[in-house]
Amino acid sequence: MTNRKSQIIELTLKNIQEKGFTSFSYDHLAKELGVTKASIHYHFEKKEDLGVAVCERIQKGLGEAYTVIKESTVAAEEKPFAFILRRIKFLEQNGVCPITALQADYQELSPSMQEKVQQLSQMEVDVLVELLQDAKNHGSLQSTMDLEALAILLISSTKGALQYKRVLGEDFFHKMLEQLKKLLK
Amino acid sequence: MTNRKSQIIELTLKNIQEKGFTSFSYDHLAKELGVTKASIHYHFEKKEDLGVAVCERIQKGLGEAYTVIKESTVAAEEKPFAFILRRIKFLEQNGVCPITALQADYQELSPSMQEKVQQLSQMEVDVLVELLQDAKNHGSLQSTMDLEALAILLISSTKGALQYKRVLGEDFFHKMLEQLKKLLK
DNA sequence: GTCTATACGTAGATAGAC
DNA sequence: GTCTATCTACGTATAGAC
């Protein structure tokens, strides 16, 4: 099983979304996989190494989502929201956004992970700004907002809403999504 | 020192904002205070008890902020944003929003704390909705948004922005605040 | 690659002296 | 109210057999 490695990464991603980086353990991970801790240490010597691998996994997913949306036949003005919807669909399966979870644990992370989380956060913004810029160039986005500020607003509110959803239930969540869509007119 | 108790609560609040609830320890707290773990256990037998006390502390602060703004001479249409600014000023001292931090750790919390976090989250929304409703009644808020959805959007984006601020720096943060303000016209 | 065994630190918590 | 001492559990991590 050479894909045990990616199996571990996927399971860790889920655990980070559910518990956060500092709160999941190799022991718990191992039990879920039906192996021992030592086996996971074989694939990722330190927890930090596993963390970095998960960040790269997230980065890849983010890049793929961008490419898919960018190259899709959807109208340019629909793309920012389509991108957000796509990310939510991916995230909703396991809880809150893993990047949010990593940001919350930021001060406890190793320098190598902090750097990755920085890159991830920046990439999230950049990718959405590009889609917003395209929409604006097509004359379809009326917003007079600074696009970076709009991007953070969209990203933050979506992720924040996911946290409220976990605590308060689904109701607000869909209401809020509809309202977000209106912001993008 | 009978206010040792509130001293512990304040310090814990700071620690939650910096590290999250699961990541701070009695030992660390004790060293910061110059006492021993046992002493803190005397005031709060279980970590859970301390957590609940901190939630109540946050709740009190939220209520006070609401009262101050509600009764201030500021125009009704300025109050929602004034409320947000006031909360940010309070939070910025120590990192991210403690409620955000508690939401991130939600699944790891005891039932008693989960209940408190639920109440806190609901209260945050309710308080802002009331201020928004007042603003709307004064005819000053043009937004056609559902007010609950708008409240969550405002709260989430503010808190999310605080997280990005910690990771990416100050730049976005103030840009975003200005843009948020425009949403409230 | 996965196992058993184990080392070592730190976490939350309690007992009992002062 | 705070201390020392101690317990127990669990965390990350390593060594060495299979």
D7 C1' – A36 CA distance, angstroms?
27
Give dist(CA B58, CA B56) in Å, integer: 5
The arithmetic mean of pLDDT across residues A74-95, rounded, is 92
Candidates B117, B31, B35; CA nearest to A164 is: B117
The arithmetic mean of pLDDT across residues B96-111, rounded, is 97
The arithmetic mean of pLDDT across residues B126-147, rounded, is 90
Instruction: Kindly tell me if the per-residue pLDDT of B81 is higher than 60.
Output: yes
Asked whether the CA dihedral B128, B129, B135, B141 is positive or negative, the reply is positive
Instruction: Kindly tell me if the per-residue pLDDT of A142 is higher than 80.
Output: no
pLDDT for A9 equals: 98
pLDDT tens readout for residues B24-57: 999 999 999 999 999 999 999 999 999 999 999 9
Give dist(CA B97, CA B77) in Å, integer: 25
B152 inside domain? yes
pLDDT for B1 equals: 56
Of B122, B153, B166, the CB nearest to A106: B166
Beta strands in A83-156 (DSSP E): none
Give dist(CA A38, CA A26) in Å, integer: 9
Of B22, B125, B157, the CB nearest to A156: B157
* Interchain proximity B160–A146, CB inside 8 Å: no
Percent of chain B with pLDDT over 70: 99
| Residues 77-136 of chain B whose Cβ lies under 8 A from any Cβ of chain A | 95-96, 100-101, 103-108, 117-118, 121-122, 125
Q: Which residues of A touch B105 (CB under 8 A)?
A: 19-20, 23, 104
pLDDT for A2 equals: 64
Q: What is the pTM of this model?
A: 0.96
**pLDDT grade, residue B141 (50/70/90)?**
confident
pLDDT for A1 equals: 56
Name the burial class of residue B58, with classes exposed (0-12), middle (13-18) and buried (19+) by CB atoms within 10 angstroms of its CB. buried
HSE toward the beta carbon, residue B74, CA cutoff 13 A = 19
D18 C1' – A39 CA distance, angstroms?
14
D5 C1' – B103 CA distance, angstroms?
37
* Interchain proximity B22–A18, CB inside 8 Å: no
pLDDT tens readout for residues A102-135: 999 999 999 999 999 999 999 999 999 999 999 9
Domain range for B74 is 48-183
Give dist(CA A120, CA A56) in Å, integer: 9
A34 inside domain? no
D17 C1' – A38 CA distance, angstroms?
13
Six token digits for residue B154: 């405002």
B34 inside domain? no
Determine contact, residues B58/B123, Cβ cutoff 8 Å: no
D2 C1' – B6 CA distance, angstroms?
17
The arithmetic mean of pLDDT across residues B54-80, rounded, is 97
How many Å is the maximal CA-CA distance in chain B? 57
B37 inside domain? no
Q: Which of the two residues, A172 and A40, has the higher pLDDT score?
A: A40
| Residues 134-153 of chain A whose Cβ lies under 8 A from any Cβ of chain B | 144-146, 148-150, 152-153
A110 inside domain? yes
State how many domains chain A has. Answer: 1
- Write out which nucleotides of chain C lie closer than 7 A to a protein Cβ: 1-6, 10-16
**pLDDT grade, residue B181 (50/70/90)?**
confident
| CATH code of residue A147 | 1.10.357.10
Q: Which residues of B touch A87 (CB under 8 A)?
A: none
pLDDT tens readout for residues A21-40: 999 999 999 999 999 999 99
Instruction: Kindly tell me if the per-residue pLDDT of A141 is higher than 90.
Output: no
DSSP assigned state of A21: T
| Cβ-based contacts with strand C at under 7 Å | A 1-2, 4, 30, 34-39, 42-43; B 24-28, 37-38, 41, 45-48
* Interchain proximity A108–B182, CB inside 8 Å: no
Beta strands in A48-171 (DSSP E): none
Asked whether the CA dihedral B4, B6, B7, B12 is positive or negative, the reply is positive
A10 inside domain? no
Instruction: Kindly tell me if the per-residue pLDDT of A90 is higher than 90.
Output: no
Q: Other C-beta atoms within 10 Å of B182: how many?
A: 11
Of B19, B144, B175, the CB nearest to A146: B175
A43 inside domain? no
pLDDT for B2 equals: 63
B35 inside domain? no
The protein residue nearest nucleotide D5, judged by CA to C1', is: B38
Give dist(CA A133, CA A147) in Å, integer: 7
Measured CA distances, B121 to A53, A88, A166, B27 (Å): 33, 21, 11, 29
Please tell me if residue B157 touches chain A, with a CB cutoff of 8 Å: yes
Looking at CA atoms only, how far is residue B162 from chain A in angstroms? 9
